[in-house]
């Protein structure tokens, strides 16, 4: 296998564009082998045997994946209830050979040690040279996927690219009001206030919504403008690590300062009055109605709204750098996380464990990775100068991401290493300009990659965290909406959190963190 992957690298390196289907150097089995799979992720609820990527993988490896997903919610595009589907699968007593899902990490880390999933450390060492090579380079990621017993139970989906969300603003409104691009939080506030009071959309009404967000936790992220912290990773309300200590953003001084100011912004009308209930259509509605002034959202999809310039005269919507906090720090809290809690695992009843691990490894080979990222050569992309480039016809088919899901590529529940180039090829110019703007500085901060608990630690977490989170969010929303004053309530708030077991929880997180990543 080691030799074979070397060959694969050679083949790719020499830019061979002929289909690699025939030569069979990636073949894992002599006779076709069928493996069952449960696959259910954020974008798609089952595994389709007709996917071109599955067909190609069959040709290359000889392994056929047979869909055996339970609990799929086929009625929605935005597939929900993945965790419930996993629980249902486990409760049914029938675990397929392969289980792939979003948010699979906590699940396999809990039930893997109980015996439901196959531990992968030795298998990867012996049979998966490409995965092993990846982990040899990234020991931090290897540490992040391990369970409390030191075993890996899943092969993760590894996103590529650095940037996720950014600050966006209507630059044509800035021009219309004769304002400069805001560089500090005070300037940002002045701009938002001008959006509210000086009628930049020119309809004679003060109906502008200066700051809005599709997901209200993005509003909380603004506490970074006052040196606070909100979300420690791309999971909202997550913990974070400061100087080797696990802590939470919602107990920091900067957070208090931030919430105090956000409450003021809210009561002054600088923040969407319906921020907590408007929901996912906020961006679409407020931008296309020429009402929204600024938000914090994904580069690529948000930049795409510049097509509204056909409808709204002069519409210009650009990324801006994070405004500097009073102490002069500029932070973009959100980034693409290095390793997702998504991926796939091997069920304990699997009789072909070695072949399965080799199959997992296939997606870390040059060809496998290309297949998982770009789809099938000739059908979705062509090789140009040794690089896969999407064909014009494929890009014209509509949203590229969705077309790829529908071909079986870019599945978040498959363990593979994403290639950001797949996205860059069709990223709109506004998002590209924004990313290049952010590239000029150093605004990103490290993500918290999560910890795996022992059974005892898990109990403490289960008992305390949900209640603590509920309480934090309850107070947070109340303060911002003006029901209560964060300055006056702060000491009681901290005391109540301690009473609910926050210190105990942080101690447990800390010991798990040190076990997983080593004490600092």
Q: Determine, following the binding rule CB under 8 A, whether residue 463 of this chain makes contact with another protein.
A: yes
Contact flag: residue 477 with another protein (CB under 8 A): yes
* Residue 106 beta carbon to another protein: minimum distance, rounded to whole angstroms: 9
Position among 15, 91, 133, 384 found at the interface with another protein (CB under 8 A): 91
* Interface mask toward another protein for 411-450; x: CB under 8 A: ----------------------------------------
Taking contact as CB under 8 A, which single stretch among the options 52-60, 370-378, 394-402, 468-476 is the one that binds another protein? 468-476
* Interaction of residue 149 with another protein, rule CB under 8 A: no
Distance of closest approach, residue 457 Cβ to another protein, in angstroms: 15
Asked if residue 1 lies in contact with residue 358, where contact means CB atoms within 8 angstroms, the answer is yes
Identify the H or E element spanning 243: none
Give 361's DSSP letter.
Answer: H
Closest to 185 in 3D by CA, of 323, 321, 294 = 323
Q: Confirm if 381 and 19 have CB atoms less than 8 A apart.
A: no
Contact residue for another protein among 4, 11, 481, 507 (CB under 8 A): 481
CA distance 360 to 154: 10
CA-CA distance, 217 to 67, in Å (whole number)?
Answer: 36
- Provide the 3-class DSSP secondary structure of residue 476: helix
The stretch among 329-337, 389-397, 442-450, 470-478 that binds another protein (CB under 8 A) is: 470-478
Would you say 235 or 306 has its CB closer to another protein? 235
Quote the crossing angle between the two packed helices 486-499 and 502-517, to the nearest 10°.
70
- In the complex with another protein, which residue's Cβ is closer, 207 or 439? 207
Nearer to another protein, 33 or 271 (CB): 271
Near another protein in 50-89, by CB under 8 A: 83-84, 87
Rounded Cα gap, residues 367 and 482, in angstroms? 56
Told to check if 474 binds another protein by CB under 8 A, we report: yes
Output 437 or 481, the one with its CB closest to another protein: 481
**215 makes contact with another protein (CB under 8 A):** no
Identify residues 100-139 at the interface with another protein (CB under 8 A).
Answer: 111, 114-116
Q: Is 100 in contact with 36 (CB distance < 8 Å)?
A: no
Q: Which of 168, 412, 420, 406 lies closest to 306 in space, CA to CA?
A: 168
Radius of gyration in angstroms for the set of CA atoms belonging to the chain, rounded to a whole number: 24
**Whole-angstrom distance, CA of residue 156 vs CA of residue 141:** 9
Q: Which of 149, 250, 256, 247 is nearest to 505 (CA)?
A: 247
CA distance 174 to 333: 25
Under the criterion CB under 8 A, does residue 473 sit at the interface with another protein?
A: yes
Residues 130 and 21: their CA atoms lie apart, in Å, by 20
CA distance 210 to 201: 11
Q: Which is nearer to another protein, 264 or 336 (CB)?
A: 264
Q: Decide if 13 contacts 332 (C-beta within 8 A).
A: no
> Shortest gap between Cβ of 221 and another protein (angstroms)?
16
Least separation, in Å, of the C-beta of 229 and another protein?
19
- Asked if 470 interacts with another protein (CB under 8 A), we say yes
Torsion of CA 265, 273, 259, 435, to 10 degrees: -80
- The yes or no reply on residue 456 touching another protein (CB under 8 A) is no
Q: What number of other Cβ atoms are within 10 A of residue 402's Cβ?
A: 14
Write out the binding residues for another protein, residues 257-286 only, by CB under 8 A. Answer: 273-274, 276-277
Select the residue interacting with another protein from 90, 120, 192, 404 (CB under 8 A): 90
Considering the rule CB under 8 A, would residue 467 count as an interface residue with another protein? Answer: yes
Closer of 114 and 242 to another protein (Cβ): 114
Confirm or reject binding of residue 517 to another protein (CB under 8 A).
no
Binding site for another protein (CB under 8 A): 83-84, 87, 90-91, 93, 111, 114-116, 273-274, 276-277, 462-463, 466-467, 470-471, 473-474, 476-478, 481, 483, 500
């Amino acid at each position: 296998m080691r030799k074979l992957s070397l060959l694969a690298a050679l083949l790719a390196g020499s830019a061979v564009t002929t289909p690699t289907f025939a030569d069979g150097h990636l073949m894992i089995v002599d006779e076709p082998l069928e493996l069952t799979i449960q696959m259910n992720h954020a974008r798609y609820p089952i595994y389709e045997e007709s996917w071109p990527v599955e067909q190609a993988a069959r040709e290359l490896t000889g392994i056929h994946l047979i869909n055996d997903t339970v609990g799929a919610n086929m009625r929605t595009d935005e597939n929900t209830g993945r965790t419930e589907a996993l629980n249902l699968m486990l409760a049914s007593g029938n675990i397929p050979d392969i289980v792939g899902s979003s948010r699979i990490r906590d699940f396999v880390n809990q039930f893997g040690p109980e015996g439901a999933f196959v531990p992968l450390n030795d298998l990867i060492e012996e049979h998966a040279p490409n995965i092993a090579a990846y982990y040899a380079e990234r020991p931090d990621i290897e540490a992040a996927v391990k369970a409390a017993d030191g075993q890996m139970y899943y092969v993760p989906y590894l996103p590529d690219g650095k940037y996720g969300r950014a600050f966006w603003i209507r630059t044509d409104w800035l021009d219309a009001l004769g304002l400069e691009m805001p560089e500090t939080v005070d300037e940002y506030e002045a701009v938002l206030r001008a959006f509210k009071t000086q009628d930049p959309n020119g309809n004679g009404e003060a109906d502008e919504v200066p700051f809005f967000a599709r997901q209200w936790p993005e509003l909380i992220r603004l506490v970074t403008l006052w040196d606070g912290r909100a979300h420690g990773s791309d999971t909202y309300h997550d913990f974070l690590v400061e100087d080797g200590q696990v802590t939470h953003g919602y107990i920091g001084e900067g957070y208090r300062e931030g919430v105090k100011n956000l409450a003021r912004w809210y009561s002054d009308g600088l923040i969407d009055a319906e921020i907590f209930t408007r929901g996912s259509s906020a961006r679409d509605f407020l931008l296309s109605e020429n009402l929204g002034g600024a938000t914090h959202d994904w580069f690529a999809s948000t930049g795409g709204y510049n097509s509204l310039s056909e409808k709204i005269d002069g519409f210009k919507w650009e990324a801006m750098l994070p405004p500097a906090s009073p102490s002069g720090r500029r932070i973009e809290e959100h980034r693409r996380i290095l390793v997702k809690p998504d991926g796939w695992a091997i069920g304990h009843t699997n009789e072909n464990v070695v072949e399965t691990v080799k199959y997992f490894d296939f997606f870390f080979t040059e060809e496998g990775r290309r297949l998982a990222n770009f789809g099938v050569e000739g059908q979705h992309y062509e090789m140009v100068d040794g690089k896969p480039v999407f064909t014009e016809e494929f890009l014209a088919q509509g949203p590229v991401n969705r077309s790829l899901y529908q071909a079986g590529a870019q599945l978040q529940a498959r363990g593979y290493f994403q290639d950001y180039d797949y996205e860059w090829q069709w990223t709109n110019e506004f998002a590209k300009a924004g990313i290049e703007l952010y590239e000029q500085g150093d605004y990103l901060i490290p993500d918290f990659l999560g910890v795996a608990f022992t059974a005892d630690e898990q109990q403490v977490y289960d008992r305390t965290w949900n209640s603590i989170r509920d309480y934090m969010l309850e107070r947070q929303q109340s303060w911002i909406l003006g029901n209560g004053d964060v300055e006056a309530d702060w000491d009681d708030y901290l005391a109540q959190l301690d009473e609910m077991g926050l210190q105990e929880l942080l101690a447990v997180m800390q010991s798990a963190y040190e076990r997983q990543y080593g004490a600092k």
